[in-house]
Structure 1
Amino acid sequence: MKFAFIATYPPRECGIGTFTNNLFKSILNNDNSRKKGNEGFIVALSDHDLSYNYPDEVKLVIRQDNQIDYLEAVEYINLSGADVCILQHEFGIFGGQDGKYILPLLHKLKIPLIVTLHTILKTPSFSQKSIMQEICTMADRVVVMSHKAIEFLEEIYNVPKEKISLFEHGVPDIQFSPEKCRKEFKLEKRKVLLTFGFVGRNKGLETVIKALPEIVEKYPEVLYIILGKTHPNVLRESGEEYRIYLMRLAKSLQVEKNVVFLNKFLDEQDLFKYLYACDIYITPYLNEAQITSGTLSYAVGIGAGVVSTPYWHAAELLADERGKLFDFGDHKSLSTLLIELFDKPHELSAMKQNAYEYGLGITWPKTGEKYLEAAEQIVKDEPKVVEQAAGELDLLVLPPFSLDHINRMTDDTGIIQHAEFGIPNLKEGYCMDDNARALLMVVMHYRQMKNQRALELSTIYLSYIHYMQNSDGTFRNFLSFSRNFLDEVGSEDSFGRTIWALGFLLGNAPNNAFYQAGKQIFFNATPNFEKLKSIRSIANTIIGICYYLKSAPSDENMIEKLRHLVNILVRHYNENRTPDWQWFEQVIAYDNGFLPLALLHAAEILNDEKVKKAAIESMNFLTKVTLKDNNLSIVGNENWYHKDGERSIFSQQPVDAMAMVLMYHQAFRLTSEKEYLSKMYACFLWFIGENDLKVNLYDFETKGCCDGFDINGVNRNQGAESTLAYLISYLAVLQAHDEFGKAN
């Protein structure tokens, strides 16, 4: 039987990677006489664009935040001849919000699926619950490692009991002499306490340190070893702050000589030497919400003396006198318990023996056999056949997403407005419109892919917007390359686009610093909302307010500002609407999709059926004008389209295609009607050849987008506006593709 494994994998330093490596070996090398010749391969998850020197069994790597990689991986698996796929699930190892990038892969998987759940939340968010339910629906077998996990899956996630299997966490069959290990580490004269695993605040290590003074008073030879590196996510966010706090705590309690920090990620051989060398292993976690602990399983499995707080897995694993429990954060109870165990070595020895006997039944060969039996059972069923659903875009046919041209167009001031072919035209300087769109794009990009370069660019574009804001909250638009202002107040359109970008930032801020800076600029501009006259400026401002309100739904003052602007836009619609012309003006001009788009956003926030009706009706009219046989033909800005007149075919602009993409995306989100995704994809394909001239606007060499086309052909200049329109549309398609997978 051939297995495909999807998980993190060594040399990436990750507990799930170690688990997968052991599971891989236990299945392929299983010595059960019924099963010989099993084979398999690994699809490894890499994090934050880091690369690893993977072993030969890793045949493909998924970059955590690169959505396309997931789709390439499932194609590889489906064509690999694998009989079963085994997925290790933990929210944090997959890309997208709550790891949702794994869903399209699972939807397209054509072979049976076994999913091992390493975290099952008791109080999940709506997103976490829906993702978990969807994964369990697609799985042929769901594997958990505790009875509490089964209870949660049945009662919280409504997973059928017959689909769930309990396979306890495997333990490597590694044996050492405790005496030799203690001698190797020069611990013969010490009473050794040990905690290992990634270091982070939820581990409660301070509880043990606070317990030490009382223990040391009676047993001065006690040594507490904290073995493990700081968790990579913690290290990125706050560095070694927690480790430094622990060191200072030990010093302040005058037990620094009784605490050793080993900042290492050890291989299993060395790790088990420390386990055999210790007298008591401690997991002092701070709350009950841990459904599985590999470190605890290892300690029990080799017969260590174990003391723990009563988190879910520990309460089960340490039952029947296999260990001792103390309350969360209660260092006094811990010190009393440890002293009692040192005082009564026979009691500690009996506890170790109970753990050892239990551990004999959870070695990896036994766990591997359980997975083999489960795989044998599920392959008897008919294999999955997953067809591409109607309206679904195959992302693999798209060019790879790239910031190359954006990087070329951006300096430390902002993004250059125009280009000569693929080269920035410095003579034209910068404008607010493009820097606002650029901010929107990179925040979208960072939200979806966690690209560090996108975060760096966000600082530049937000800084430009801040620099261009006047004291009354309005914005200048144009800045020369020499950083001289070229106007006093920009157009209303540029104001609206800026509010759109700022609102999106507030609803999706990558961190608090961005949120606070964006909020200050946004609210400095709010007194100007009621002064707007241009309906496109009003529409963009409405969209920005709606994004802001998603992060602050109780801001009644802003809701009233939204209602005021929406009423203006709806009034324009009602005043110009006739039975054969359902539009906001007597002309269809530019940025047309933004007008229905604004009402679609407002309908979501205000839950107003009249607004929704105007949005859908005007969108359908624009569809009738521009989308023929599911091919987008944009109203050209040569003469536009006046009521009772002829519509212009040329010059067609990328920003209008972007507006259509965003409009249909929001229509799908509001209504869940999949026909809008089909229309959205058709509009995006305008950029890559499905247009009136049947030519590519996207330049595969420069990674930029051409500035549109007229009757004479394509305008080969690749300014900021056109490239940003393409990239924003691309990111919207990625998000819609993910949402489509969930809707299915």
Structure 2
Amino acid sequence: MKIAFIGTYPPRECGIGTFTHDLFNSVISDNNRQENVNTGFVVALNDFSNVYDYPQEVKLTIRQEHQEDYIQAVKFINHSGAEVCILEHEFGIFGGQSGVYILPLLHRLEIPLIVTLHTILKSPSYNEKAVLQEICKMAGKIVVMSHKAIDFLVHIYDVPEERIVLIDHGVPDIKFSAEKSKQEFKLEHKHVLTTFGFIGRNKGIETVIKALPGVIEKYPEVFYMILGKTHPNVLRHSGEEYRIYLMRLVKTLGLEKNVFFLNEFLDVNDLFKYLSATDIYITPYLHEAQITSGTLAYAVGVGAAVISTPYWHAAELLANGRGKLFSFGNSEELSSLLTELLDNPVELKKLKEKAGEYGRNITWPKTGEKYIAVAKEAVMQGTLEMEKKDTIMDLLILPPFSLTHINRLTDDTGIIQHAKFGIPNLKEGYCLDDNARALLMVLMAYRQIKDLRSLELSPVYLSYIHYMQNKDGTFRNFLSFSRNYLDEIGSEDSFGRTIWALGYLLGNAPNDAYYQTGRLMFFNAAPNFEKLKSIRSIANTMIGICYYLRTSPGDDSMTERLRNMAHKLIQQFDANQSPDWQWFESLLAYDNGMLPLALLHSAEILNEDKVLEVAMKSMQFLTAHTLKENYLSVIGNEKWYKKDGERSVFAQQPVDAMAMVLMYHQAFHVTKDKEFLNKLYTSFLWFLGENDLRLSLYDFETQGCCDGFEVYGVNRNQGAESSLAYLISHLTVLQAYEEFHKVGS
């Protein structure tokens, strides 16, 4: 079996790197003596600009903050012949917000995934929880190192327990004589206390130092060794502030002869010599929130007597007489406990024997065997289904339709344009685009599900549109929270979106008062239809006209306007298209699906072959660039996709996903091809996590929709545009579901 490992790796000085190295060697070693040879390679994570001289098993590196490296890495893994991938997960080693950059790699992985979780937070942030949940969804098996971790995954992260495997943190199978080790370090006549690992304030080393005077008073030969470098992240932000503080504390307490700092990242042989020379090992961490501790596992594994604060892993690992616990930050209690153990050599010996007995069962060779068994099971059972399947419309995974966030954003003037997270940002006021979208959404909601709150909101948005219309039929766009106009005339895009909403109103008015108000505004604006220059404004206006003409097919004048506008889009297409670029412009920008959508609507009204032909060609071209890996990847607005250029992954916007949902819905209407309903549903799942980052844009807590993806991860602000885009898409899925069953599944 060939295994791909992803994690940090030596010579990078990192606890996860040491773990990955030890796991790799335990799984791959001694193959010459085995019938079924295991081979493998490592994909290593580099931090910042650091470059390392890796050993030969490292075949590829990923720069932590370079998204493109993750995509290159998964391509390499998929074509490497590897049968399974083992990921070492720790939030801080991957790029993006909460390590989100690892998700696109895992999503594209074509072999089963096993993930080892080194950190599981009890109170994760929104993004931390979302990232970890997505990783667990994609993993066939999830390896943890404590029962507490299983409890957290099941009850906080909703991970099925049957997919979780408990494998203890491995320890090197290295034995040194305690007597010889003490002699080598000239510690023969010392009571040796030790703490090792990266140094940082959360390690609580000052607790031990403050406990020493009381112990040394009775046992002056006590010698405390603090082994390890300052953590790289601490060093980067605070330098050696903490180490200097500890050294000053030692001097203040007069402990210079009893405390020793070794500022090195020790190799495993030297480390185990020091641990073998240790009488009592101490982990004085200040907080309970540590689900795994490699340093603790090593100390128990070597058979040291261990004293620790009761953080999660320690409370579990040191149970049943394998160690002693003392309260967080309690130097007096620690001093008493140390004195008590030094007073009682028999008790000290029992602790060592208990720890050593347990340690013999968690050596790396035995841990490696357990990982191999998990890997074989993942491969044999096909735990991660990699075959691409047709999308099946499943309403059970949709959140309930809710106007909660829309109610939060709406006052008696209209819908507030922006939000800070889920809270309306009144400073930004209102805009025409969003109130037009809001009118469209509530009209759809009333038509589709007879939502009474939608009917109550309709006049709010309709009156905003009326308030913003100028005498010449154009519209202003922006209004301050104090109801002051902020522009004289809005953008063509805002005009087009408003006509779309008004046209939908004329075709689906819930009562005559709304119809008459909408009709006045629609026809007041009509003289401006053919003055439009922006092709997206033209497209939005065409959609509004089509909705109007479906209930007023005898309006020949408006039909001709629609025909003229459709031909403008076709002329744009003919001017820019080539055999490999079937599009209206020399770039794919924003709201792309609206252009084929407008022609698909027009094709039903105009019955012109050319209109339908361009609609289908442009839709197929857009599909090829955004829906080619069985999930939607809309064109990011960070850097638009120019012909012969590279497309942007980031700054993906919900309105672009909405346009794709609407486009495929209308394509089904025109063609009756049920495959377009599949594509519609796939596009909608973009909102719920089937996207490049594998993160949900829909916020189940606020019931709003986040504003999009940025390079760092999800933009958690939940403005009107994004939330309305989600709800319009949601309602379209509900409508499509009914139509799907009408034509037969």
Residue 227 (structure 1) aligned with residue 246 (structure 2): no
- Aligned to 2:44, the other structure's residue is in SS state strand
Distance 1:573 1:739, change over 3 A: farther
Asked if the contact 1:596/1:663 (under 8 Å) is kept, the reply is no
Structure 1 residue 682: deviation in Å? 5.1
Structure 1 residue 588: deviation in Å? 13
Distance 1:338 1:683 in 2: 60
Distance 1:123 1:245 in 2: 30
Letter in 2 for 1:623: R
Question: Percent identical across equivalent pairs?
Answer: 52
Match of 1:319 in 2: 319
Match of 1:153 in 2: 153
Residue 8 (structure 1) aligned with residue 26 (structure 2): no
Residue 563 (structure 1) aligned with residue 564 (structure 2): no
Superposition map of 1:269-668 within 5 A: 269-382=269-382, 384-385=385-386, 546=418, 549-550=420-421, 559-563=425-429, 575-576=468-469, 584=477, 623=536, 625=538
Structure 1 residue 741: deviation in Å? 2.6
- Aligned to 1:270, the other structure's residue is in SS state helix
- Aligned to 1:55, the other structure's residue is in SS state coil
Distance 1:141 1:191 in 2: 44
Asked if the contact 1:141/1:163 (under 8 Å) is kept, the reply is yes
Match of 1:100 in 2: 100
Asked if the contact 2:167/2:367 (under 8 Å) is kept, the reply is yes
Distance 1:181 1:688, change over 3 A: same
Structure 1 residue 592: deviation in Å? 6.4
Structure 1 residue 658: deviation in Å? 14
Superposition map of 1:58-97 within 5 A: 58-97=58-97
Distance 1:45 1:263 in 2: 24
Structure 1 residue 625: deviation in Å? 3.2
1:381-400: per-residue Cα shift (whole Å, max 9, x none)?
Answer: 2474365999xxxxxxxxxx
- Aligned to 1:181, the other structure's residue is in SS state helix
1:314-349: per-residue Cα shift (whole Å, max 9, x none)?
Answer: 111111111111111110010000011111111101
Distance 2:160 2:75 in 1: 29
Match of 1:210 in 2: 210
Distance 1:658 1:589, change over 3 A: farther
Asked if the contact 2:136/2:159 (under 8 Å) is kept, the reply is yes
Distance 1:680 1:78 in 2: 20
Distance 1:590 1:57, change over 3 A: farther
Structure 1 residue 36: deviation in Å? 3.5
Distance 1:568 1:734 in 2: 14
Asked if the contact 1:597/1:663 (under 8 Å) is kept, the reply is no
Distance 2:117 2:81 in 1: 25
Distance 1:627 1:203 in 2: 60
Structure 1 residue 184: deviation in Å? 1.4
Asked if the contact 1:107/1:386 (under 8 Å) is kept, the reply is no
Distance 2:355 2:294 in 1: 15
Distance 1:143 1:206, change over 3 A: same
Structure 1 residue 188: deviation in Å? 1.5
Distance 1:25 1:74, change over 3 A: same
Structure 1 residue 268: deviation in Å? 0.2
Distance 1:202 1:566, change over 3 A: farther
1:224-253: per-residue Cα shift (whole Å, max 9, x none)?
Answer: 111111111111111111111111112222
Distance 2:639 2:426 in 1: 38
Distance 2:494 2:586 in 1: 9
Distance 1:275 1:152 in 2: 32
1:500-544: per-residue Cα shift (whole Å, max 9, x none)?
Answer: xxxxxxxxxxxxxxxxxxxxxxxxxxxxxxxxxxxxxxx9xx98x
Distance 1:258 1:132, change over 3 A: same
Asked if the contact 1:85/1:111 (under 8 Å) is kept, the reply is yes
When structure 1 is superposed on structure 2, of 3-12 and 248-257 the one drifting more is 248-257
Match of 1:18 in 2: 18
Letter in 2 for 1:102: I
Letter in 2 for 1:101: Y
Distance 1:125 1:644, change over 3 A: closer
Structure 1 residue 155: deviation in Å? 1.4
Structure 1 residue 562: deviation in Å? 2.5
1:229-286: per-residue Cα shift (whole Å, max 9, x none)?
Answer: 1111111111111111111112222223321111110110111111011111100001
1:180-234: per-residue Cα shift (whole Å, max 9, x none)?
Answer: 1111111112211100000011111110011011111111121111111111111
Distance 1:356 1:328 in 2: 25
Letter in 2 for 1:625: I
- Aligned to 1:206, the other structure's residue is in SS state helix
Distance 1:381 1:362 in 2: 26
Distance 1:230 1:595, change over 3 A: farther
Asked if the contact 1:581/1:643 (under 8 Å) is kept, the reply is no
Asked if the contact 1:303/1:354 (under 8 Å) is kept, the reply is yes
Structure 1 residue 359: deviation in Å? 0.8
Query: Which residue, out of 651, 659, 662, partners 1:732?
Result: 651
Asked if the contact 2:431/2:477 (under 8 Å) is kept, the reply is no
Structure 1 residue 367: deviation in Å? 0.5
Distance 1:362 1:731, change over 3 A: same
Distance 1:77 1:166 in 2: 26
Structure 1 residue 567: deviation in Å? 11
Distance 1:577 1:372 in 2: 72
Distance 1:209 1:681, change over 3 A: same
Match of 2:41 in 1: 41
Distance 1:574 1:219, change over 3 A: same
TM value normalised by structure 1: 0.61
Distance 1:663 1:319, change over 3 A: same
Aligned pair count? 510
Gaps of 5+ in 1: 391-538, 599-609, 629-641, 666-673, 699-725
Structure 1 residue 589: deviation in Å? 10
1:410-435: per-residue Cα shift (whole Å, max 9, x none)?
Answer: xxxxxxxxxxxxxxxxxxxxxxxxxx
1:38-73: per-residue Cα shift (whole Å, max 9, x none)?
Answer: 100000011112110010000010111111111111
Distance 1:40 1:71, change over 3 A: same
Residue 742 (structure 1) aligned with residue 695 (structure 2): yes
Distance 1:152 1:219, change over 3 A: same
Distance 1:207 1:9 in 2: 32
Distance 2:496 2:217 in 1: 74
Match of 2:505 in 1: none
Structure 1 residue 76: deviation in Å? 0.7
1:651-690: per-residue Cα shift (whole Å, max 9, x none)?
Answer: 99xxxx999957789xxxxxxxx99977984586995543
Asked if the contact 2:497/2:540 (under 8 Å) is kept, the reply is no
Letter in 2 for 1:280: I
Letter in 1 for 2:306: V
Distance 1:46 1:71 in 2: 15
Look at both structures and tell me which one has the larger radius of gyration over its CA atoms.
Answer: 2
Q: What's the Cα RMSD here?
A: 4.6
